[in-house]
């Protein structure tokens, strides 16, 4: 058996403020740091040796991974991939989710957040929140930087990267990915063959390792390590 551990970064500063974050590069809160430390301790208790580590380009995912590696006493280099970034929320970026519900209605906000192929309006390239204006992405080709994304768009880049760079490791190695709510939702949709309706309701908790057990590249079992903060997923 081999294992894939998926972890959404610990609580970020904009999670706390209930803002649409997307590709904006914000760091962890104190609570997010504690979540990452607890995640590391839970993974350590599993006594799994991690062969490959992956993270998005974003600070909250990278720092979550660094905290976990520190607790595991494992200083392996990890691969950073923009393809694992959070979904780009377009013109919603930086806005408060509660205020937007009051302004345009809860149903519309849910559609913009969770529907399969609906995109928010594009974010202006003059916005300081546009990835082209954020130092983190200065070396990315401009043609891969989005102005907005649907979950479908996020799914396509995440799964392409997973199949090209990660999947083969799971034949005989263990892998940990530190990423984001929507990039992990995309992976769950693919790995568990979830339809578009189910994926719209799937919640991914911050800082809670999701351990997937593989055999012959098929998921055989799955569990959240922090049982008190686990969300509904699939039970094998």
Domain assignments of the chain as residue spans, ordered by start: 2-174+208-229
Residues above pLDDT 90, as percent of the chain: 86
Looking at residue 219, its pLDDT comes to: 92
Bridge partners (DSSP) listed for residue 2: 214
pLDDT in tens, 203-234: 899 999 999 999 888 899 999 999 887 776 65
Own/partner pairs, 161-170, CB within 8 angstroms, 24+ separation:
161/81, 161/83, 161/84, 162/187, 162/190, 165/54, 165/79, 165/81, 166/52, 166/54, 167/217, 169/51, 169/52, 170/2, 170/4, 170/214, 170/217
pLDDT in tens, 140-174: 999 999 999 999 999 999 999 999 999 999 999 99
Q: Give yes or no: 203 in active site.
A: no
pLDDT(13) > 80? yes
pLDDT in tens, 119-130: 999 999 999 999
Distance CA 21, CA 234 (A): 27
pLDDT(235) > 60? no
Q: Which residues contact 170 (CB under 8 A, 6 or more apart)?
A: 2, 4, 214, 217
Cβ atoms 120, 22 nearer than 8 A:
no
Q: Which residues contact 13 (CB under 8 A, 6 or more apart)?
A: 26, 27, 28, 29
Looking at residue 232, its pLDDT comes to: 67
Looking at residue 86, its pLDDT comes to: 98
CA 34 from centroid of its chain's CA atoms: 18
CATH says 2-174+208-229 is which class? Answer: alpha beta
Looking at residue 234, its pLDDT comes to: 52
pLDDT in tens, 101-118: 999 999 899 888 888 999
Looking at residue 236, its pLDDT comes to: 36
Looking at 35, 86, 88, 180, which residue is catalytic?
Answer: 86
Q: Give yes or no: 197 in active site.
A: no
pLDDT(88) > 90? yes
- pTM of the shown model: 0.95
Looking at residue 198, its pLDDT comes to: 86
Helix 151-161 with 181-191: angle, nearest 10 deg: 70
């Amino acid at each position: 058996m081999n294992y894939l551990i998926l972890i959404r970064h610990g609580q970020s500063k904009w999670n706390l403020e209930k803002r649409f974050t997307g590709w904006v590069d914000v760091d962890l809160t104190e609570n997010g740091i504690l979540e990452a430390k607890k995640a590391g301790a839970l993974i350590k208790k599993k006594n799994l040796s991690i062969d490959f580590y992956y993270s998005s380009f974003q600070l909250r995912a990278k720092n979550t991974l660094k905290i976990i590696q520190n607790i595991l006493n494992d200083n392996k280099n990890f691969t950073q991939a923009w393809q694992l970034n959070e979904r780009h929320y377009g013109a919603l970026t930086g806005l408060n989710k509660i205020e937007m519900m009051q302004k345009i209605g809860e149903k519309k906000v849910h559609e913009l957040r969770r529907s399969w192929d609906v995109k928010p309006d594009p974010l202006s390239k003059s916005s300081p929140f546009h990835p082209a204006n954020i130092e983190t992405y200065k070396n990315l080709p401009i043609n891969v930087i989005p102005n907005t994304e649907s979950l479908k768009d996020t799914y396509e880049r995440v799964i392409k990267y997973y199949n090209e760079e990660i999947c083969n490791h799971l034949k005989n190695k263990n892998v940990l990915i530190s990423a984001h709510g929507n990039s992990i939702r995309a992976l769950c949709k693919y790995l568990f063959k979830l339809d578009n309706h189910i994926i719209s309701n799937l919640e991914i908790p911050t800082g809670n390792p999701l351990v997937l057990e593989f055999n012959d590249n098929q998921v055989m079992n799955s569990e959240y390590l922090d049982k008190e903060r686990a969300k509904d997923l699939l039970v094998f």
